[in-house]
Amino acid sequence: MTQEQRLSAIGISLALFLGALDQTIVTTALPRIAEELGGLNYYAWVVTAYLLASVLGLPFFGRLVELFPAKWVLLSAVCIFLAGSVLSGLAPGILALIAFRALQGFGGGGIFALAFSLIGLLFPPRERGRVQGMMGGVFGISSVAGPWLGGLLTDLLSWRWIFYINVPLGIVAVIFLVGYMPRLQPEQRGRFDFLGVLMLALWVVPLVLALSWGGSTYPWLSGQVFGLIACALCVLVVFMWWQRRSSDPLIQLNLFRLKVYRWAMVGSFFFGGAFLGSVVFLPLYLVHVKGFSATNSGLSITPVVMGVVVGSTLSGQLASRTGRYKLPLAASLCVGSLAFAAFALNLRVDTPLWQVLPLMVVIGLSMGPSLPLYTLAVQNAVPRGRLGTATSSLQFVRQVGSTASVALMGTVLAGTIAAAASENVPEAMRAQVGEVAFGEDNSSVGTLAAGVRERFAVLERQALQALAGDEAARQALLASSALPPELASRLQAGGVPAQVRQEAAHVLAQFEAALQGDTAAREAVSQSPFVPQDAKAALQNPPTGAAREELLARLEQRLQAQEEAMVSAATAQAVTQVQAALRTRAAEVVAVLMNALSLGVTAAVQRVYAFATALILFSFIAALLLPDIELGGAPSRNEVPQSASEAP
């Protein structure tokens, strides 16, 4: 590797790091962004806009690199990305941020397409493995650093700095690219397929939106999702017809005649889904079941990502040394399918971390080789003049596979959590849990606990109003399914004041009965705290006639005089009892929900990994069908890139 190639690779790696970083850096800052800019309804679009634009940017820039000098095409993508970063940081509102994120994503998609394509143009096949492996490592590191760095910058400075941080790093990348990267002139010029780009957008955008919204914003069988998918399929058919007809297509369909290209595309599609699914959904288990801090949830996948970095780097080195890619690729996917299956079969709420973490590392190690080796196989098989289109198409298919599988896994996850968790809530407690349990927005123990406590706090406020005599509050409380049955009997009409008056009338009636010789009534009066001692003493020699009526009248007056104090004391006692009962019940419900959610999340992640196991098996089969063409040596004289110093 010459110094020029090494320095060019550094510039490309920095650009790739930025593009990959911004896929995840925004996730931990989204709550703060929504709080400051408002527009909570557009919350998810901050991520979706980047995803959509980056998917469109992949084939767009992949074709441009075949028409113009690759150096300037990459610099254009980096500059678009940096412009989008600066504008995103300056965004005055949520809609402006979404638009600027789309601009940033378009440049990021170009970086993804070109980073791997340019490695193919800069290095001969035998050396590409080593460099592509390092690129896979860069991608893995940026994936785990994104959420952590986003949270750090948001807490210490501002969410705007998650975008501004790209500028100094981007400038360094531009310096390396301008100063050391060769021009890499295209072998032949042609026309750019603008109509193809329009058609691509018209089927990719509806497809990605359908996959993003299906099962979350709208049901999968809703008219919105079904209409988007139907629109995408119709335009896709027209797009394919146009690409076959065009003399300068955006995507070279004739490359599918190459067996390597065909099976690499199939394998990458399934691999993309399994890889992203393992990264996206595993933190749910680690945070909600194993108690990892939600603040550091991005770091919880570090064992997987570190395994990816090591696996990608070592497999690239091995391919460069042996000149073969099929054996390490197929072997790693075989191990990956076993690791995914082990995860799906053995994951439990009580599975110790010492069993979980090694499996995460093995999954990462088995995923790592597929990042560089599928790309390496394609670049080794296609003509040099088609490296841009072939490589970007591979990245495009992988991205679509990731989006599709994550959407499907998300639907499986949500449905399984709701069903499995609800099954573990006792029947007697479900009425008190109500709609706060396992709703669409209640995906964490903290959210569920807060929802339960808020609901019981409402019950507590209504109970206090009912105890004070508020009939509307009493009726609402009695109609609530969340009211513990043992408290319903305490909520009589009129509240505590009515209960005190009723008790006073009962005491007076018992006293009158005691004066008439009722032994049981005399015993009850002697125990009553509301009857004065002199009145109790009068029962020893009960008066008759007018004296008895006078004694009853005096007792009634005393009870009426004590009514306010009696109401106050009884209210305080009732409030204390009701508050204690409701808060105890809330704590019991939260404990049950925590256990139910842990069981639900575990069952859901098991199903997700079972689904991912099937995807990895399909990718493994594709790898077995992949021809093992030996990697070439040094490039021929006419393939040696023009150096930056020789470029005009």
CA dist 576 → 464, 565, 582 (Å): 10, 17, 10
Q: What is the pLDDT of residue 478?
A: 62
Q: What is the pLDDT of residue 22?
A: 79
- pLDDT value at 281 more than 60: yes
Greater model confidence, 136 or 111: 111
Task: Using DSSP, state whether 218 is helix, strand or coil.
Answer: strand
% the chain with pLDDT above 70: 77
Highest average pLDDT, of 65-74, 298-307, 420-429, comes from 65-74
Lowest mean pLDDT among 9-18, 293-302, 595-604: 293-302
CA dist 305 → 96, 295, 300, 310, 365 (Å): 33, 18, 10, 9, 9
Q: Please give, one letter per residue, the 3-state secondary structure of 253-264.
A: HHHHHCHHHHHH
Q: What is the pLDDT of residue 617?
A: 93
* Mean pLDDT (the chain, rounded): 77
Residue whose tokens read 């799906």: 344
Distance CA 392, CA 119 (A): 12
Burial class from Cβ neighbours inside 10 Å (0-12, 13-18, 19+) for residue 548 reads middle
pLDDT class for 492, splitting at 50, 70, 90?
low
- pLDDT value at 467 more than 70: no
Task: Using DSSP, state whether 214 is helix, strand or coil.
Answer: strand
The answer to whether 54 and 187 have CB atoms below 8 angstroms apart is no
Distance CA 248, CA 149 (A): 42
Residue whose tokens read 């790209």: 166
Structure-token pair, residue 480: 């609530």
pLDDT class for 122, splitting at 50, 70, 90?
confident
Q: Please give the radius of gyration of the chain, using alpha carbons only, rounded to the nearest integer.
A: 35
Q: What is the pLDDT of residue 263?
A: 92
Q: Please give, one letter per residue, the 3-state secondary structure of 543-569.
A: CCHHHHHHHHHHHHHHHHHCHHHHHHH
Greater model confidence, 638 or 28: 28
Residue whose tokens read 């629109």: 231
Distance CA 337, CA 609 (A): 10
CA dist 178 → 18, 187, 266, 387 (Å): 17, 21, 36, 22
Give one word for 38, left, alpha or beta, with left for phi > 0 and alpha for psi -120 to 50: left
pLDDT in tens, 521-568: 777 777 777 667 777 777 777 777 777 777 777 767 776 666 666 666
Structure-token pair, residue 577: 């009892």
Task: Using DSSP, state whether 634 is helix, strand or coil.
Answer: coil
Q: What is the pLDDT of residue 431?
A: 57
Greater model confidence, 32 or 503: 32
214 forms beta bridges with: 218
Torsion of CA 46, 48, 50, 55, to 10 degrees: 180
pTM for the model stands at 0.72
The answer to whether 20 and 138 have CB atoms below 8 angstroms apart is yes
Distance CA 200, CA 209 (A): 14
218 forms beta bridges with: 214
pLDDT class for 498, splitting at 50, 70, 90?
low
Give one word for 484, left, alpha or beta, with left for phi > 0 and alpha for psi -120 to 50: beta
Torsion of CA 146, 112, 315, 364, to 10 degrees: 30
Amino acid at 349: V
pLDDT class for 471, splitting at 50, 70, 90?
low
Q: What is the pLDDT of residue 630?
A: 80
| Average confidence (pLDDT) over 178-182 | 81
pLDDT in tens, 409-443: 777 777 777 676 667 666 656 555 554 444 434 44
pLDDT in tens, 196-249: 778 888 888 888 788 777 766 777 788 888 898 899 899 889 988 888 887 777
Q: Is the dihedral of CA 461, 464, 466, 468 positive or negative?
A: negative
In the chain, the domains with their CATH numbers are 1-191 (1.20.1250.20)
**Residue 94 CB contacts under 8 Å (≥ 6 apart), including other chains:** 33, 34, 37, 38, 39, 42, 46
The answer to whether 626 and 263 have CB atoms below 8 angstroms apart is yes
The answer to whether 436 and 593 have CB atoms below 8 angstroms apart is no
Q: Which of 280, 558, 287, 216 is nearest to 447 (CA)?
A: 287
| Average confidence (pLDDT) over 608-632 | 87
pLDDT in tens, 571-618: 666 667 677 777 777 777 777 777 777 787 888 888 888 888 999 999
Q: Which of 640, 589, 317, 641 is nearest to 457 (CA)?
A: 589
pLDDT in tens, 131-152: 878 887 787 777 667 777 777 7
The answer to whether 79 and 31 have CB atoms below 8 angstroms apart is no
- pLDDT value at 402 more than 60: yes
| Average confidence (pLDDT) over 82-111 | 89
| Average confidence (pLDDT) over 26-45 | 70
The answer to whether 122 and 5 have CB atoms below 8 angstroms apart is yes
pLDDT class for 335, splitting at 50, 70, 90?
very high
Amino acid at 228: L
Q: Which of 574, 577, 562, 575 is nearest to 504 (CA)?
A: 562
Q: What is the pLDDT of residue 84?
A: 92
Burial class from Cβ neighbours inside 10 Å (0-12, 13-18, 19+) for residue 172 reads middle
- pLDDT value at 339 more than 50: yes
- pLDDT value at 187 more than 50: yes
| Average confidence (pLDDT) over 244-266 | 83
The CA angle 594-595-601, to the nearest 5 degrees, is 85
In our burial notation (b when 16+ CB lie closer than 10 A, e otherwise), range 217-234 reads eeeeeeeebeebbebbee
